């Protein structure tokens, strides 16, 4: 089944809006139960079984991440980051075993307590059709600065 480009784009924009609106719980519902949220460290292609990652969350750790951001006080998000992200360069890749690979670029502006920073990179998604809508099985974020010192990446990237 060919995937409609507009449907994919809308899905990605929707996800970006939930992250920018700090709608953490809603964001979490976009993921499959066996989802992986992965932000490599140092090297885009680093093998997570032998190399440390900035984020390598399974669904359980994603739920902890959401709890940290909304159910308690995480000082590095008090006050919380204001973010605005542009999602672009959407490219629909192969479809295999009911999962479609989607590539996109992002440009994220983050402001917190007088400091404004830009984060940019590429995201590789594996999207799966579940009950008539898409769910994210893989969200791999390739930050251009994943080998540089970072102060605070405790908002959703």
Per CB under 8 A, 25 contacts another protein? no
Sequence-ordered list of residues with C-beta below 8 angstroms from that of 36, at least 6 positions apart, any chain: 56, 57, 58, 137, 138, 139, 140
Interface region with another protein, contact rule CB under 8 A, candidates 9-17, 19-27, 43-51, 97-105 = 43-51
Per CB under 8 A, 153 contacts another protein? yes
* Residue recorded with tokens 């974020």: 141
* Residue recorded with tokens 């251009």: 144
CB burial string 86-99: b at 16+ within 10 A, e below? ebeebebeeeeeeb
Closest distance of CB 136 from another protein, Å: 17
How far apart are alpha carbons 87 and 85 in whole angstroms?
A: 6
- Site for another protein (CB under 8 A): how many residues? 35
Interface region with another protein, contact rule CB under 8 A, candidates 5-13, 103-111, 130-138, 149-157 = 149-157
How far apart are alpha carbons 73 and 22 in whole angstroms?
A: 14
- Draw the binding track, 78-97, toward another protein (x: CB under 8 A; -: no contact): x-------------------
Closest CA to 100 of 71, 134, 74: 134
Residues, the chain: 157
How far apart are alpha carbons 92 and 98 in whole angstroms?
A: 14
Query: Which of 33, 34, 43, 91 contacts another protein by CB under 8 A?
Result: 43
**CB closer to another protein, 6 vs 114:** 114
Query: Which of 4, 21, 76, 82 contacts another protein by CB under 8 A?
Result: 76
Closest distance of CB 22 from another protein, Å: 15
Give residues in contact with another protein (CB under 8 A). Answer: 39, 41-43, 46, 48-56, 61, 64-65, 67-68, 71-76, 78, 147-154, 157
């Amino acid at each position: 089944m060919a995937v409609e480009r507009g449907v994919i784009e809308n899905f990605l924009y929707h996800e970006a809006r939930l992250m920018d609106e700090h709608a953490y719980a809603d964001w979490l519902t976009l993921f499959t139960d066996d989802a992986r949220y992965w932000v490599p460290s140092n090297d885009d292609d680093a093998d997570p079984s032998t190399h440390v990652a900035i984020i390598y969350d399974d669904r359980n750790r994603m739920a902890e991440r959401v709890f940290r951001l909304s159910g308690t006080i995480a000082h590095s998000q008090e006050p919380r980051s204001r973010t605005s992200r542009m999602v672009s360069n959407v490219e629909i890749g192969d479809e295999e075993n009911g999962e479609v690979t989607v590539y996109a670029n992002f440009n994220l502006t983050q402001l917190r307590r007088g400091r404004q920073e830009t984060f940019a990179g590429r995201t590789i998604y594996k999207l799966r059709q579940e009950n008539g809508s898409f769910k994210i099985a893989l969200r791999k974020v390739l930050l251009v600065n994943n080998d540089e010192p970072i102060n605070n990446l405790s908002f959703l990237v």
